[in-house]
Amino acid sequence: MDRLGVNMVYRCGHKPQPGLPVPDTHDASLMRIAFSCPHCLSELARRCVLDTRIFVNLQQLSQGMSAFVIEVADAVEEVGEMLAAVGYGCTGKSQDELTPGMQTAVMGDQVWRKELWFANNTDPRHVVALIAHVKAEMVWLEPYLPMGQEAIEYCTFPV
């Protein structure tokens, strides 16, 4: 079977589901590097009784820089590996808009974090483009969440 061409399949053997967003760069890359499908990973989190959630916020990271921050909490190990493959890093949970998560060794206090930085004086059109990117990222990640879209929270922080 051609895993890298037209007949791409996930590591679990499932093909991309019809009706889901057309596989984009992330999905194609993840299939190529052999991760399980969103359904299998969502079911794994459900069986492990993990409340996988995503928190999307705006944070001031320095006096002149801000970022849209995506934090994925309580993810199964394979989802963490997948997130690491697409640019997320493992850090502590953010406290608020001014206190980003720091490196931590405390298990259970970690999240997978991605930052989309911009200068505070950036052209608003660039910021709008970043917002569109964040929205696209949520569409891509939603099928991996046991609670689906209900598990995506905006302007709240992990506790």
Q: What is the pLDDT of residues 136-151, one digit of tens each?
A: 999 989 999 999 999 9
Give me the pLDDT at residue 159, please.
80
Residue 122: inside a domain: yes
- Tell me if 5 is assigned to some domain: no
Q: Domain residues for 111?
A: 51-154
Instruction: Please give the residue that has the higher pLDDT: either 29 or 110.
Output: 110
Query: If you write DSSP's letter for every residue of 76-127 in order, what string do you get?
Result: -HHHHHHHHHTT-EEEEPP-BTTB-------TTSEEEEEEEEEETT--HHHH
| More confidently predicted of 94 and 22 | 94
| Gap between the Cα atoms of 28 and 16, Å rounded | 10
Q: Is residue 96 part of a domain?
A: yes
The per-residue pLDDT for 21 is 55
Q: Name residue 88's amino acid.
A: Y
Residue-averaged pLDDT of the chain: 86
pTM metric for this prediction: 0.86
Answer whether residue 88 is part of any domain. Answer: yes
Is the residue at 75 inside a domain?
yes
Question: Do residues 84 and 112 lie in contact, with contact meaning Cβ atoms separated by under 8 Å?
Answer: yes
Residue 14's pLDDT is what? 85
Q: Cβ(54)–Cβ(149) under 8 Å?
A: no
What is the reported pLDDT for 9? 79
Tell whether 135 is covered by a domain. yes
Query: Does 67 reside within a domain?
Result: yes
pLDDT of residue 31: 60
Q: What percent of the chain has pLDDT over 70?
A: 82
- 13 found inside a domain: no
Residue found by looking up tokens 């921050």 in the block: 69
Distances (CA, A) of 20 to 17, 55, 117, 124, 131: 6, 22, 29, 31, 21
Total domain count for the chain?
A: 1
Q: What is the pLDDT of residues 79-110, one digit of tens each?
A: 999 999 889 999 999 988 888 877 765 666 79
Tens digits of per-residue pLDDT, 66-78? 999 999 999 999 9
